[in-house]
Amino acid sequence: MANTDWCYFQGDSEQKEFKAPTAPPWRIRKNRVKSYCTFSDKVKKMVSAALILRRPLLITGNPGIGKSSLAEAVMHELKLGDEVLYWRIGTQSKLKDGLYSYDALSRLQDVQTGEEDSEGEKISKKIENYLKLEALGTAFTSKTQRVVLIDEIDKSPIDLPNNLLHIFEENEFEIPELKRLKNYSFDNGEGFHTIDNGLVKCDIDTFPLIIMTSNGERDFPMAFMRRCLHLELKDPTDKELAKIVNKHFEQIKVKLDQEKLEKIIRSFIKLRDSEENKVYLSTDQLLNAVYLMEQDESIDLTNADDEMIDGIWKNLLG
């Protein structure tokens, strides 16, 4: 019978005080801006090429391989703003979702109520109360270069990649709600930015680094592909995995037993690279396993008979 002495929950209905253990460092938001991945020379070259050419970088690779982490690492290392501007793509995403949002319903309600601000002016008269720039819109109006992450673009509706072509080529987009307003100014967090006749233009010198990620679930139009640089991330090797894991645990000042680490990495790679069954495991699943094994010596996820393996190392392909 498996040892459950280490389990906080015992299922015996006996109430007890629970003190949460230290959280894994990769679960802490502020740690994600630091690079714990190992980036190849090709990765460094392609990111630099995208910065020089002002072209979007389309990154493909298996889920959990570090595509999104690369955007955080570039932002942090090159000081391109204080955060990555995220646009998470879904099956219903539209181009406007990444540019700006306009809350027409709230404005209509304020018109009906006639609510006024502290200066006695009707709130509904100020369109800035209802208009918000989203990831690409914020980057286009920034005075400095930013990093935009368009995550999982392969999940987008079929026409979204083509709709992005004008943005990538002309470095501008229109906000119809502002078209009748000449020289409209608003505070974008870096000072006042002026939009003429509803047209938002991006200075080519501050054109953002646009990183798009794809899990390879679909193909893209040729015209779209021509305007992107391409980078495929490969699964990390055993040495790269060891480096990644050790870097994470250094954050909580834990020195890992390297023999034990090598053993679990061998088990992980054996399962991940199995030729008999189509299996995909992500790096964070390995991190989770190592962290659990560090909590109690009775936890051994290198043992194929352990009851937790199917849950911790769940095949992401189903």
Q: Among 150, 151, 160, 173, which residue's Cα sits nearest to residue 92? A: 160
- Per-residue model confidence (pLDDT) at position 122: 64
Helix (H, G, I), strand (E, B) or coil at 137: helix
Is 313 in contact with 301 (CB distance < 8 Å)?
Answer: yes
- Per-residue model confidence (pLDDT) at position 274: 76
Q: Measure the CA angle with vertex 154, ends 153 and 156; round to 5°.
A: 70
Helix (H, G, I), strand (E, B) or coil at 53: helix
| C-alpha to C-alpha distance for 232 and 262, rounded to whole angstroms | 26
| C-alpha to C-alpha distance for 71 and 147, rounded to whole angstroms | 7
Q: Among 47, 98, 41, which residue's Cα sits nearest to residue 76? A: 47
Token representation of residue 28:
């802490």
Q: Which residues contact 201 (CB under 8 A, 6 or more apart)?
A: 140, 171, 172
- Per-residue model confidence (pLDDT) at position 25: 81
Strand (E) or helix (H) holding 133 = strand 131-133
- Per-residue model confidence (pLDDT) at position 67: 84
Token representation of residue 86:
């995220």
- Per-residue model confidence (pLDDT) at position 206: 94
- Per-residue model confidence (pLDDT) at position 1: 45
Q: Measure the CA angle with vertex 45, ends 42 and 46; round to 5°.
A: 85
Is 161 in contact with 214 (CB distance < 8 Å)?
Answer: no
| C-alpha to C-alpha distance for 14 and 8, rounded to whole angstroms | 12
Neighbours of 143 (CB within 10 A): 11
Question: What Å distances lie between residue 119 and 74, 115, 187, 240, CA to CA?
Answer: 44, 11, 19, 60
Rounded to two decimals, the pTM is: 0.82
Is 151 in contact with 213 (CB distance < 8 Å)?
Answer: yes
Q: In a structure prediction context, what are the per-residue pLDDT tens digits for the chain, which is 318 residues long?
A: 467 888 888 898 989 888 888 888 878 766 665 655 678 899 999 999 999 999 999 999 887 788 888 999 999 999 999 999 999 999 999 999 999 988 778 777 767 777 666 565 665 566 667 788 899 999 999 999 999 999 999 999 999 999 998 899 999 999 888 877 666 666 666 666 677 788 889 999 999 999 999 988 888 999 999 999 999 988 889 999 999 899 888 877 888 989 999 999 998 998 888 766 566 788 888 999 999 988 888 888 887 667 888 888 887 765
Name residue, tokens 């054109």.
Answer: 207
Question: What Å distances lie between residue 297 and 3, 256, 264, 300, CA to CA?
Answer: 11, 13, 13, 7
- Per-residue model confidence (pLDDT) at position 156: 94
